[in-house]
């Protein structure tokens, strides 16, 4: 293990990663560089500096990546209307490639020959971090303590802290949420505790970002989202940066009980996992983006996007953001967004986000053709007869041959 001289650790400042710092120092006799990313998790990240210093860390990186996260990862994903297995908006999945990228960049900057993370050997995140790392630096060594040590319980972690005088100032030493949670600007996830029973309903006090639909206001909230080339650039006419858009939509959606999800998903490592998610802003964004596309996208381009989306979602969920197939899919998706501009009006009310209006200078909706009133000759209904007969030709031939149709 002497070949490892310096390691860059994805460091939250919490119990697990604080133990990992000391464990790396002792097990590998190496220098540890910590990297803490603010991607909108809603907690102060600066306290991680003092915790790292107390553990003897000399090189400490604490960075605000919120704008890059939404601009370069969340927005491109939402251009594809991405959902995994019909429901999951990929809040955790989409954050991992950015963290992996910065881990590798910091390793290059500091001359480190390894990176480390706190993901367990059961989950998807180990795959996502490491696939990203290997794609960006093929020869990097990855250290995953949860796959090496025997500290496989909270009690053992706390005992390790006591034995090694690791400063644990967390109130969690006295009281800990029963859930394993992960948060960023796109979502907050909950696993563990009673959620390990798929039949058990999540407790109301578990949710952090949203009120229950029953407790949401009795009056709806209307908002208007302005799109340019597939991305939201303003809310109610006020220009905003991507991360500001998502922050605002999270507050608006959460206040109206929007974005709660309870699912059993198929992890890449093979097991099924039950999790709950809060994605208020993302839920609104998905609904609104499909609305502006319905007005501006060609039919076949829209349908092809819908066919590509499950593949794109699987690529992201499984950790292949830096793969050639994701880049190829992204290029195709982005090419469809050139004319996806306009305004969508959304009604937020007791857990639902409903599209109630959409308009665009790039609209392909032609009222003179679509109208049920007199169209003044814009559309000749007689043309439909030949269209139908030609499309029915193969069916008519088969029926004429006596082919069974049931």
| Active-site pick, 180, 294, 352, 360 | 180
Is 16 flagged in the annotation as binding? yes
- Annotation marks residue 180 as catalytic: yes
Is 50 flagged in the annotation as binding? no
- Annotation marks residue 262 as catalytic: no
| Active-site pick, 16, 113, 182, 375 | 16
Phi, psi (rounded to 5 degrees) for 317: -60, -40
Is 349 flagged in the annotation as binding? no
| Contact status, residue 156 vs residue 20, Cβ threshold 8 Å | no
Is 212 flagged in the annotation as binding? no
| Active-site pick, 38, 79, 116, 125 | 125
- Annotation marks residue 125 as catalytic: yes
Residue 11's contacts (CB-CB under 8 Å, 6 or more residues apart) are 17, 20, 21, 34, 35, 36, 48, 52
Which residue in this structure is represented by tokens 């490592």? 269
Is 237 flagged in the annotation as binding? no
CB burial of 165-194 (b: ≥16 within 10 Å; e: otherwise) equals: ebebeeeeeeeeeebeebbbbbbbbbbeee
CA atoms of 224 and 233, how far apart (whole Å)? 11
In 229-273, alpha helices (H):
242-255
CA atoms of 94 and 108, how far apart (whole Å)? 23
| Active-site pick, 96, 102, 260, 274 | 96
Sign of the CA dihedral with 230 first, then 234, 239, and 242 last: negative
CA 120, distance to chain mean position in Å, is 19
- Annotation marks residue 116 as catalytic: no
Is 265 flagged in the annotation as binding? yes
Terminal-to-terminal C-alpha distance of the chain: 68
Is 37 flagged in the annotation as binding? yes
Is 221 flagged in the annotation as binding? no
Q: How far is CA 92 from CA 85, 207, 209, in A?
A: 15, 17, 16
Is 180 flagged in the annotation as binding? yes
Is 366 flagged in the annotation as binding? no
Is 14 flagged in the annotation as binding? yes
Q: Which two tokens stand for residue 367?
A: 């009222």
Is 402 flagged in the annotation as binding? no
Is 102 flagged in the annotation as binding? no
Mapped onto helix, strand or coil, the DSSP state of residue 175 is coil
Is 128 flagged in the annotation as binding? yes
DSSP lists the bridge partners of residue 221 as 348
Is 112 flagged in the annotation as binding? no
| Contact status, residue 33 vs residue 57, Cβ threshold 8 Å | yes
Which residue in this structure is represented by tokens 């710092």? 21
Is 317 flagged in the annotation as binding? no
Is 259 flagged in the annotation as binding? no
CA atoms of 18 and 359, how far apart (whole Å)? 51
Is 118 flagged in the annotation as binding? yes
* Binding-site annotation: residue ranges for L-aspartate: 120, 124-125
* Binding-site annotation: residue ranges: 10-18, 37, 88, 93, 118, 120, 124-125, 128, 180, 189, 265, 277
* Binding-site annotation: residue ranges for ATP: 10-18, 37, 118
- Which residues are designated catalytic? 16, 96, 125, 180
* Binding-site annotation: residue ranges for L-citrulline: 88, 93, 124, 128, 180, 189, 265, 277
């Amino acid at each position: 293990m002497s070949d490892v001289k310096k390691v860059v650790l994805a460091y939250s400042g919490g119990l697990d990663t604080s133990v990992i710092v000391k464990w790396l120092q002792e097990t590998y006799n190496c220098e540890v560089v910590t990297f803490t990313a603010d991607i909108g998790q809603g907690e102060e990240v600066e306290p991680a500096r003092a915790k790292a210093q107390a553990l003897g860390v000399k090189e400490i990186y604490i960075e605000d990546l919120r704008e890059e996260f939404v601009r370069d990862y969340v927005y491109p994903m939402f251009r594809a209307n991405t959902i995994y297995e019909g429901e999951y908006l990929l809040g955790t999945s989409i954050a991992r490639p950015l963290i992996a990228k910065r881990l590798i960049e910091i390793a290059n900057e500091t001359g480190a020959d390894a990176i480390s993370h706190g993901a367990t050997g059961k989950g998807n995140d180990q795959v996502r971090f490491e696939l990203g790392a290997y794609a960006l630096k093929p020869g990097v060594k990855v250290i995953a303590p949860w796959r090496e040590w025997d500290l496989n319980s909270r009690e053992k972690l706390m005992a390790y802290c006591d034995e090694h005088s690791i400063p644990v100032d967390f109130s969690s030493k006295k009281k800990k949420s029963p859930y394993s949670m992960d948060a960023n600007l796109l979502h907050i996830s909950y696993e563990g505790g009673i959620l390990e029973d798929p039949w058990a309903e999540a407790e109301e006090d578990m949710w952090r970002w949203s009120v229950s639909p029953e407790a949401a206001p009795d009056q709806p909230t209307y908002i208007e989202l302005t799109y340019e080339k597939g991305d939201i650039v303003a809310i109610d006419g006020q220009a905003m940066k991507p991360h500001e858009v998502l922050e605002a939509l999270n507050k608006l959606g959460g206040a109206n009980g929007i974005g709660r999800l309870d699912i059993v998903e198929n992890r890449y490592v093979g097991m099924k996992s039950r999790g709950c998610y809060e994605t208020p802003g993302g839920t609104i964004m998905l609904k609104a983006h499909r609305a502006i596309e319905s007005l501006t996208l060609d039919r076949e381009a829209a349908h092809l996007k819908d066919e590509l989306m499950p593949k794109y979602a699987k690529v992201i969920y499984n950790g292949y953001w830096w793969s050639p197939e994701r880049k190829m899919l992204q290029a195709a998706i982005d090419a469809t967004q050139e004319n996806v501009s306009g305004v969508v009006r959304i009604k937020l009310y007791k857990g639902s986000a409903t599209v109630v209006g959409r308009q665009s200078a790039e609209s392909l909706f032609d009222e003179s053709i679509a109208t049920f009133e007199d169209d003044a000759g814009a559309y000749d209904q007689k043309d439909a007869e030949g269209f139908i007969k030609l499309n029915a030709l193969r069916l008519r031939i088969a029926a004429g041959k006596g082919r069974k149709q049931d």
